[in-house]
Structure 1
Amino acid sequence: MIFKRIILVLILLPSLTLISCGQTPFSIPGEFIKTSPPKVGSDEWYVLNGSQNEFGVSIVNGKLDIKKVNEVNKSVLKIPSGTLIGVNRGEWGGQLTFKPSDTTKKNIDIKEGNIKFIFKLENKIYFIEGLAHMSYSGGALFELHTTGEKFTFTQLVKFEDAPEAFTIYKDKLLIATHKNFYIVKDFKKELVFKEAFWSSLYPNSIAAFDDKNVFMGIRSGIIKLDLTDKSLIFYKYKE
């Protein structure tokens, strides 16, 4: 079941810092308890879905950092001639827009869609869009082409459900969708986790130390993923 929700772009709030893990890079603090992943739709899963706590993960000074997070509905990327702005309003739509540095010029609407992320990789610009609403879930990765202030785009990878979190890891992208997890290399996707328990628990961030230690923040806790043997461990936050 996909719940009605505005899916927004994550922002970490320093004032809500929960933990900086201390002794080893992968230490899991005591506030999180190793728990069997619940079945989607079970009573245990509904408790997680109803949690008011969402956690983001990142790597700070070489160690895993976990924060409670809030969200905004905008992603931005500055380029020499101005700023690319992606807006995601969930079921109410969104837009990719270019705002010129020259304030005498008008903004340029590039593409309608729920823009989740805008990023540069090897001097090229990419964006990811996605939407999970009612029975629909989907999205795609695009390359953005710029010539002066003219913009076109090419779809490179299509996803069968909505992308929600991503990171650049070595020469590939790690992308968590509404209920799956992909590795994208050379713009070819590999499905690593399918129909996972985090459906409607809204992945928001990914921190990758190596192939065996990939962490993901979700509503109600964090997940440790091992991409080599395709296993996972769920650490539930003690409410």
Structure 2
Amino acid sequence: MNHPLTALFLVMLCTLAGAADEPRPYSRDVAKWIEVTPPPNPSDDYSNFMYRANWSTDEWVVSQVDGKVRAVLKADRDNESQTARPDFPMSASVGGGDARYEPTLVLRTDDGWLAAYNRGEFGSVLWWYSLDGKTKYQISKSRVNQFIRHKNRFFAVEGLAHMGYSEGSLIELVKRSGKWTVTQFVELPNSGEAISVLPDDRFCVVTSDMLLAVSLEKHMEILLPNARWGGLYPNSVTTDGEGRNIYIGMRQFVVRYELADKEHRTHLLVPAHSFLNKKTY
């Protein structure tokens, strides 16, 4: 027979566990966030700091809204369904086998939809669908991580970073003879993870280990040569309204990088210290 105090203790534990899983309020205005100073690198403290960040369950997605930089948890962004998608089925086989998957990314074109299915080391594929979904064809097996439309042209960053291996490209999607095709616009030093446009019309490209600027004339400038954020999986990038700072969304942090900073320093931002993962697994 259970003791009444034991039962009460179990109820309290369950209540506390449930409370820990409740949504935490945060400001979406990154200007209101705080900066976290990591331990000196290299050091064991720094390695542990980055290890805990890698195990964080928070993943931030950044964007610019009315000249202000906003960040939202990926789970919240997915629930709000901000990206328009067609209402017809788009599941496809990726990497062989009978399993079918929904696209990780879609982009509307004048004649239909581009749909990227990216399962990392398990395979990837890029399809085109007509507006009504009745016509489709495979374009390539590119590992697309993000689309972007610029100057009425269609681009994407693609690549794979896995187990110390990293390669990727900035690609352009061009319609030739009535069909969409992929051409390599610029080969990147490593996997292309996120892309936006700088005020000077160059692409701002986040790779697994670097921050780059690429012009439409294919000139590449390395803004940050050794970012050390590969284990935090950058997913989005934007600038502030003045174009002075670049903001990168990733696991646990939003990184701010000042374009005029000759020392190439990065600043790690969180809504509050409570958003720092303190667990190790």
Q: TM-score, normalization: structure 1?
A: 0.81
Distance 1:119 1:57, change over 3 A: closer
CA contact (8 A) 1:17 1:67 kept: no
Kept in 2, the 8 Å contact 1:211–1:228? The answer is no
Distance 2:197 2:214 in 1: 10
1:212 corresponds to 2:217: no
Q: 1:104: Cα distance to partner?
A: 4.1
CA shift for structure 1 position 103: 4.4
Q: What is the correspondence of 1:182-221 to structure 2 with a 5 Å cutoff?
A: 182-186=212-216, 187-209=218-240, 210-221=242-253
1:232 aligns with 2:240: no
- How many residue pairs end up in the alignment? 218
Which sections of structure 2, spanning at least 5 residues, go unmatched? 1-22, 79-101, 277-281
Report the structure, 1 or 2, having the larger helix content. 2
Name structure 1 gaps, 5 residues minimum.
Answer: 1-14
Quick check: 2:59–2:251 contact (8 Å CA) kept in 1? yes
For residue 27 of structure 2, what is the aligned residue in structure 1? Answer: 19
From 161, 166, 170, the counterpart of 1:132: 161
Q: Could you tell me which residue of structure 1 aligns to residue 65 of structure 2?
A: 60
Mean Cα deviation higher: 205-214 or 86-95: 205-214
The Cα shift of 1:110 comes to 0.6
Contact 1:93 1:113 in 2 (8 A): no
Aligned counterparts of 1:235 and 1:200: Cα–Cα separation in 2: 17
Deviation of residue 211 (structure 1)?
4.4
Are 1:76 and 2:81 counterparts?
Answer: no
Which structure would you say has the larger RCO, counting Cα contacts within 8 Å and 6 or more residues apart? 1
Report the Cα distance in structure 1 between the residues aligned to 2:269 and 2:147, rounded to whole angstroms.
29
Equivalence for 1:94: 124
Tell me the SS of whatever aligns to 2:121: helix
Report percent identity of matched pairs.
28
Correspondence 1:111-126 to 2 at 5 A: 111-126=140-155
Distance across 1 between alignment mates of 2:183 and 2:62: 30
Q: 1:104 to 1:217 in 2, by over 3 A?
A: closer
Matched, 1:34 2:36: yes
Structure with more strand by fraction: 1
What's the TM-score, normalizing by structure 2?
A: 0.70
Q: Which moved more, 1:167-176 or 1:59-68?
A: 59-68
Deviation at 1:60, TM superposition (A): 2.0
- For residue 129 of structure 1, report the CA deviation from its aligned partner: 1.1
1:174 aligns with 2:242: no
Distance 1:182 1:17, change over 3 A: farther
Contact persistence 1:58–1:66 (CA under 8 A): yes
Who wins on radius of gyration, i.e. which is larger?
Answer: 2
Q: Distance in 1 between matches of 2:151 and 2:49?
A: 43
